[in-house]
Amino acid sequence: MEPRDLTADLTWAAEVETHLGPLHDLLATEGVTRGLIGPREVPRLWHRHLRNCVVVVDPSLELVGSDATVCDIGSGAGLPGLVWAIARPDLRITLLEPLQRRSRFLHEAVTELGLADRVAITTGRAQDVAPLGVDVVTSRALAPLPTVVEWSWPHLAANGSLIAIKGGKASEELADSREMIAEHGGRDAEVIRIGPEGDDGHPQATVVRVLAGG
């Protein structure tokens, strides 16, 4: 199956980015100091990282519904979870992170950014945490897709969706994962490229989306 192409509302994304300044600055300082963001990534935080997360929750694309509950597995520096929380105040998000030092950063970030009323942090491995039953499980550059499916599926609600933010090999990963997805009862698995293309010739984001339930 060929990837599906969607076009993000970059006017909406630009408006959201006006609210992402504090997160950008936090990642560019504390994020680097704590080893969550590589120093070379700082000049690319906007276009390679933050915008890559933002466009996925563009309401016009309808990939993440209104008032959805979300779990960001392996949240790390809060990408995409913290970005989604700022971009979409209607979402309720759990940041699931196994490493204590990253979890401490996320707790501090949530407090500093004023997100504690709608963002929770759970320290632990996805495979060890009790099922969360959320509408959307997401992750970004976490692991090969078969592993992402294995870790994510127990936390999905009956009619939820898995949205894994991937890169240029998303179609290959999906091809390698179709048998596992079928075993879990997933359906309508697809690669979605969210445009328009940036100056580097790549989409703003590429995701693998899988629906749960029949």
What is the CATH classification number for the domain harbouring 25?
A: 3.40.50.150
Q: What is the mean pLDDT of residues 45-74?
A: 96
- Confirm whether pTM is higher than 0.85: yes
Percent of the chain surpassing pLDDT 90:
92
pLDDT in tens, 16-44: 999 999 999 999 999 999 999 999 999 99
User: Residue 59 forms beta bridges with which residues?
Assistant: none
Query: Domain containing 66: what range?
Result: 4-211
Q: How many Å apart are CA 85 and CA 81, to the nearest integer?
A: 6
Nearest to 192 by CA among 57, 51, 56: 56
Q: Is the pLDDT of residue 122 over 90?
A: yes
Nearest to 60 by CA among 122, 12, 119: 12
Q: Which two tokens stand for residue 187?
A: 């359906």
Give the pLDDT score at 1.
73
Contact 209, 192 (CB under 8 A): yes
Q: How many Å apart are CA 98 and CA 181, to the nearest integer?
A: 24
pLDDT level of residue 95 (50, 70, 90 thresholds): very high
pLDDT in tens, 125-159: 999 999 999 999 999 989 999 999 999 999 999 99
Q: How many domains does the chain have?
A: 1
